[in-house]
Amino acid sequence: MLIKPMKCYWKKNPYSIKSMLQAHKLLMTDLTSEAGIFRSGGGVGIFAGEQLIHMAPPPAEYVTEQIESLIGWAESSEVHPLIKSWGGFRYVR
């Protein structure tokens, strides 16, 4: 599953929302009907069987704005890329 996304990775701009959504589509296409687009409603839950393990904030109406802010921060920040990736993970939780 990861071979195709990894081959495409080197052609992508890490600070482009378009590239991020293309990567999301490659990784999530079999897992959600909203692969490659910002979610349009409701929350995103991670389940173990019928049990909800994690509900992903923020509400859908804030996702685009927050991702734009995250990309802007990552592009302008001088911190190491590993720190940026952790910051991104923490940002979107």
Residue 4 forms part of a structural domain: yes
Residue 93 has pLDDT above 50, yes or no: no
Residue 82 forms part of a structural domain: yes
SS3 5: helix
Contact (CB, 8 A) for 70 and 92: yes
Range of 28's domain?
Answer: 1-35
Encode pLDDT of 53-90 as tens digits.
887 777 888 888 988 988 898 889 888 888 877 765 55
What is the arithmetic mean of pLDDT over 34-52?
83
What is the arithmetic mean of pLDDT over 42-53?
82
Whether cis (ω within 30° of 0) applies to the bond prior to 59 is: no
Residue 44 forms part of a structural domain: no
Residue 46 forms part of a structural domain: no
What pTM was estimated for this model as a whole? 0.66
Residue 50 forms part of a structural domain: no
Total of domains in the chain: 2
Residue 41 forms part of a structural domain: no
Encode pLDDT of 4-17 as tens digits.
655 665 677 888 89
The one-letter amino acid at 58: P
